[in-house]
């Protein structure tokens, strides 16, 4: 009788250990999924812009070439660029917003 009781206690003890290990690993996985909020955010490096005007510093950018370039961007990249006028200058030229 005492042997059966010892065996039952050992089996219960082993089951408790297995359950503890199982729940511990589940909680660790949940922590990894959520991420540690105390950690600094990971810095994401952005690609260098692939489309830039080839203007040099100090070069004059006339209104018509700039307007053409903005319209070309809008035509070539319609899902990235939207161009619209936000008003007019004192010379009645549109002030473009992109």
Mean pLDDT of the chain: 79
Assess whether pLDDT exceeds 60 at residue 36.
no
Per-residue HEC secondary structure of 21-64 comes to: HHHHHHHHHHHHHHCCCCCCCCCCCCCCCCCCCCCCCCCCCCHH
Percent of the chain with pLDDT over 90: 16
From CA 51, how far away is CA 81, in angstroms rounded? Answer: 12
Write the pLDDT tens digit of every residue in 57-81: 667 778 898 899 899 989 988 888 8
Ordered by start, the domain boundaries in the chain are 1-33, 63-97
């Amino acid at each position: 009788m005492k042997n059966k009781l010892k065996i039952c206690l050992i089996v219960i003890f082993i089951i408790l250990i297995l359950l503890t290990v199982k729940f511990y690993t589940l909680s660790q996985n949940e922590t990894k999924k959520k991420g540690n909020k105390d950690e600094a955010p990971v810095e994401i490096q952005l690609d260098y812009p692939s489309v830039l005007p080839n203007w040099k510093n100090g070069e004059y950018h006339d209104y018509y070439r700039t307007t053409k370039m903005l319209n070309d961007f809008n035509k070539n990249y319609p899902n990235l660029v939207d161009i619209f006028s936000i008003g007019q200058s004192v010379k009645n030229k549109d002030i473009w917003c992109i």
